[in-house]
């Protein structure tokens, strides 16, 4: 039997005594309860089905957008779902639907949104106040789309740069992640302890150990003892819970061979019991699929482990019938179902969803501040603060505004690549068309340095006579999740990753962290310019630290810009000395490719992989104003 853990009195965020919720649960049929626990993906569920199956929540997977993906399209879609959920008759109770999206660095699915640097860049800032402001802007842009829930923040502590989700992690150091956790939750939820009127529901993810898997394999196995699991991976959740985070998403990874999605000890005992989490726990995308061959048994295992809501994007009808069968058989106690539904309804009540008007009528919907200059200024500040200076030979930086500068490199004029994964599409986009608003790095340089010239082809015939320096913007192309891993191609279970990945085999980003192997043309560009005596300032766009020894040694200056998002102009602010470098490495920088034995079990990054620059490293240009 599953113990039903009542959240501890005083657990922040949700009120445990809620007459409205208790009354509702008492009236609900089993179908209505299971429907409330079910979260299909928007492509696979209509408003009519939301009503017919009593669905509690719908999500957008990365890149899944209504219409032309303007805020108004989103509001219209949510309004239709909401209206269906609120129809009341003898078969259906009016319970407002909760819509969820991955606003993990701004509301990136929506066209024209303000896109912030991905978390790894934010980790370099060491600025919790700015993190909270970013949360506030993000929640406004989520509400502008008529949405009330974001699957953020990611509280992963990334321990191996081969992991394709390294950029979603603020740092390899749990103290840095923990230092941001409460502030991002407060910003998103608009409250010190719970939710304010301008807040959305936040979701701490992925519980737990997602960043600690062996060899950095996405959805892999985290093989650490309990003490290390707590110290490294559980620790950042404490401040998030204290700040009242309302939901937690379970990790697709395993702990010592046991899938987190069936881990009763981690979910029910530690998170809900010991830590007193009073909100609800949501599964990840098809996260229950690998638990058992029999889908209904998989559903039962996950429900008994303490999962309250199920992200079952396409197979939601089988989930509903499967869980129903298991409850009828007594394999899932009705008390567990009531506990799950009570938690979901208490979260809906905590954000005032029962009392908010329909999406069309909400003041925050279609907010004119969506993508505004004011919001973009917050993102630009984050870009400035996230840049880390790794080399500055003979003080070549800052550059003079009137210098003759050649700007080149694959990523110099590409807002899509600056943004990385989870922007417009699940896997991100390349080019400028889909990222509306904002500036590429080149566009920012052009604003301040009138004699700068863009030469996207590498500037093979540039000479020292014509140019004082070159800015070469290099690095990765966008990716997300396992498709960003550095490893050998591997078969994947159908449904274990989102459909855009294609069936069958997971093609990772590459099999090395060495940039000169992944993208040899970058080194070629730097070398060609350096050979002509043109001092090269290299700007690296990447979701993780890469092995860049050759590029570093050929460059006069080298800047890690991470994935800065839509406001590329923040890079020029610093390169031309409007303000000082501020960022410090949120992860140690490898001198060579880690071996498989380097997935550190005791938590000290780099004990075996050699670090070129330690955690916290970051040069300054000297005597410039702080940004």
The catalytic residue positions are 284, 481
* Residue 163 to residue 286: CA distance in whole angstroms: 20
Min dist. Cβ of residue 104 to ligand BGC (A): 8
Q: Tell me the Ramachandran region of residue 512: left when phi exceeds 0, alpha when psi lies from -120 to 50, beta otherwise.
A: beta
Distances in whole angstroms, Cα of residue 89 to Cα of each of 24, 50, 80, 82: 14, 14, 17, 15
Three-state SS string over 142-197 comes to HHCCCCCEECCCECCECCCCCCCCHHHCCECCHHHHHHHHHHHHHHHHCCCCCCCC
CA 611 centroid distance within chain: 26
**CA-to-CA distance for 219 and 229, rounded, in angstroms?**
16
Helix axes 128-143, 373-386, angle to 10 degrees: 150
Considering only CA atoms, which of 479, 380, 382 is closest in space to residue 421?
Answer: 479
In this complex, which beta carbon is closest to ligand BGC, that of residue 64 or of residue 392?
64
Region of residue 622 (phi > 0: left; psi between -120 and 50: alpha; otherwise: beta): left
Q: Around Cβ 30, how many Cβ atoms within 10 Å?
A: 13
The nearer residue to ligand BGC, 405 or 483, going by C-beta atoms, is: 483
- Tell me whether residue 21 or residue 65 sits nearer to ligand BGC (CB atom): 65
Cα angle 391, 539, 374; round to 5: 115
Our CB check for ligand BGC shows the closer of 151 and 370 to be 151
Distance between CA atoms of residues 521 and 517, nearest Å: 9
Least distance CB 287 / ligand BGC (angstroms)? 8
C-beta of 182: minimal distance to ligand BGC in Å? 21
For the CB of residue 245, give the shortest distance to ligand BGC in the complex, in Å.
15
d(CA 454, CA 444): 12
- CA pair distance 123, 118, nearest whole angstrom: 9
**Bridge partners (DSSP) listed for residue 248:** 204, 281
Query: Nearer Cβ to ligand BGC, position 150 or 439?
Result: 150
Omega of the bond prior to 269 within 30 degrees of 0, cis? no
Nearer to ligand BGC among residue 105 and residue 385 (C-beta) = 105
- Least separation, in Å, of the C-beta of 61 and ligand BGC? 5
The three-state secondary structure class of 129 is helix
Q: Does residue 562 have a cis peptide bond before it, meaning omega lies within 30 degrees of 0?
A: no
For ligand BGC, the binding residues (CB under 6 A) are 61-62, 102, 151, 205, 252, 284-285, 481, 498
Q: What angle do CA 486, 605, 255 make, to 5 degrees?
A: 70
Q: How many angstroms separate the CA atoms of 42 and 80, rounded?
A: 12
In whole angstroms, how close is the CB of 152 to ligand BGC at the nearest point? 8
Q: From the CB of 218, what's the least distance to ligand BGC, in Å?
A: 9
Cβ pair 594, 576 in contact under 8 A = no
By beta-carbon proximity to ligand BGC, the closer residue of 284 and 381 is 284
- The backbone torsions φ and ψ at residue 584, rounded to the nearest 5 degrees and listed phi first, read -130, 145
Q: How far apart are CA 144 and CA 141, in angstroms?
A: 5
Q: Considering beta carbons, is residue 61 or 194 the nearer one to ligand BGC?
A: 61
Contact present, 23 and 64 (Cβ < 8 Å): no
Q: Which is nearer to ligand BGC, 219 or 555 (CB)?
A: 219
Q: How far lies 177's CA from each of 168, 172, 404, in Å? A: 11, 8, 41
Kindly tell me which of 45 and 526 has the beta carbon lying closer to ligand BGC.
45
Q: How far is the CB of 481 from ligand BGC (least distance, A)?
A: 6
Cis previous bond, 550, omega within 30? no
- Nearest approach, Cβ of residue 316 and ligand BGC (Å): 14
Pairing of strands 557-562, 453-454: unpaired
Least separation, in Å, of the C-beta of 77 and ligand BGC?
16
**Cβ nearer to ligand BGC, comparing 61 with 211:** 61
SS3 625: coil
Closest contact distance (angstroms) between CB of 589 and ligand BGC is 26
């Amino acid at each position: 039997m599953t113990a039903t853990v009542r959240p501890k009195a005083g657990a922040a965020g949700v009120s445990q005594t809620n007459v409205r919720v208790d009354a509702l649960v008492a009236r609900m049929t089993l179908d209505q309860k299971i429907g409330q626990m079910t979260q299909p993906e928007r492509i696979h569920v209509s408003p009519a089905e939301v009503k017919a199956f009593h669905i509690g929540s719908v999500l957008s997977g990365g890149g899944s957008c209504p219409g032309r993906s303007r805020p108004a399209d989103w509001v219209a879609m949510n309004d239709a779902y909401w209206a269906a959920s609120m129809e009341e008759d003898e078969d259906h109770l009016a319970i407002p639907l909760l819509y969820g999206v991955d606003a993990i660095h701004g509301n990136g699915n929506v066209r024209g949104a303000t896109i912030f640097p991905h978390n790894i860049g934010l980790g370099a800032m060491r600025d919790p106040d700015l993190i909270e402001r970013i949360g506030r802007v993000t929640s406004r842009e989520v509400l502008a789309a008529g949405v009330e829930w974001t699957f953020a923040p990611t509280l992963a502590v990334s321990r191996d740069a081969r992991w394709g989700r390294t950029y979603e992690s603020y740092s390899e150091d749990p103290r840095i992640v923990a230092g941001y956790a409460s502030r991002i939750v407060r910003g998103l939820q608009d409250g010190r302890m719970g939710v304010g009127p301008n807040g959305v529901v936040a979701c701490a993810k992925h519980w737990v150990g997602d960043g600690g898997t062996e060899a950095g394999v996405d959805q892999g196995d985290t093989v650490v003892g309990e003490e290390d699991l707590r110290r490294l991976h559980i620790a950042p959740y404490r401040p998030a819970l204290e700040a009242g985070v309302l939901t937690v998403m379970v990790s697709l990874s395993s702990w010592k061979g046991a899938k987190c999605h069936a881990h009763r000890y981690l979910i029910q005992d530690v998170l809900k019991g010991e830590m007193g989490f009073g909100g609800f726990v949501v599964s990840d995308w098809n996260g229950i699929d690998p638990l058992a061959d029999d889908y209904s048994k998989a559903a039962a295992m996950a429900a008994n482990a303490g999962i309250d809501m199920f992200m079952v994007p396409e197979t939601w009808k089988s989930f509903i019938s499967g869980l129903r069968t298991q409850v009828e058989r007594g394999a899932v106690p009705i008390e567990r179902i009531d506990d799950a539904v009570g938690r979901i309804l208490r979260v809906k009540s905590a954000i005032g969803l029962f009392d908010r008007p329909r999406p069309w009528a909400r003041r925050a919907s279609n907010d004119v501040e969506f993508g505004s200059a004011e919001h973009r200024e917050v993102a630009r500040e984050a870009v400035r603060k996230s840049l880390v200076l790794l080399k500055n030979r003979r003080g070549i930086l800052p550059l003079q505004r009137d210098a003759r500068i050649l700007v080149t490199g694959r990523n110099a004029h590409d807002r899509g690549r600056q943004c990385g994964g989870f922007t417009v599409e699940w896997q991100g986009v390349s080019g400028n068309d889909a990222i509306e608003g904002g500036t590429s790095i080149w566009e920012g340089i052009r604003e301040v340095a009138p004699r700068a010239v863009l030469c996207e082809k590498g500037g093979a015939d540039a000479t020292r006579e014509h140019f004082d320096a070159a800015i070469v913007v290099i690095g990765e192309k966008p990716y997300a999740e396992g498709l960003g891993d550095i490893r050998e191609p591997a078969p994947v279970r159908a449904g274990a990753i989102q459909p855009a990945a294609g069936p069958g085999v997971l093609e990772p980003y590459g099999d090395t962290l060495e940039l000169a192997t992944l993208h040899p043309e970058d080194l070629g560009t730097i070398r060609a310019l350096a050979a002509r005596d043109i001092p090269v300032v290299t700007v690296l766009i990447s979701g993780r630290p890469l092995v860049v020894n050759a590029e570093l040694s050929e460059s006069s200056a080298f800047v890690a810009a991470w994935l800065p998002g839509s406001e590329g102009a923040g890079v020029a602010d610093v390169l031309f000395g409007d303000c000082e470098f501020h960022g410090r490495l949120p992860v140690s920088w490898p001198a060579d490719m880690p071996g498989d034995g380097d997935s550190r079990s005791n938590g000290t990054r780099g004990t075996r992989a050699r670090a070129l620059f330690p955690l916290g490293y970051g040069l300054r240009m000297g005597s410039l104003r702080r940004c």
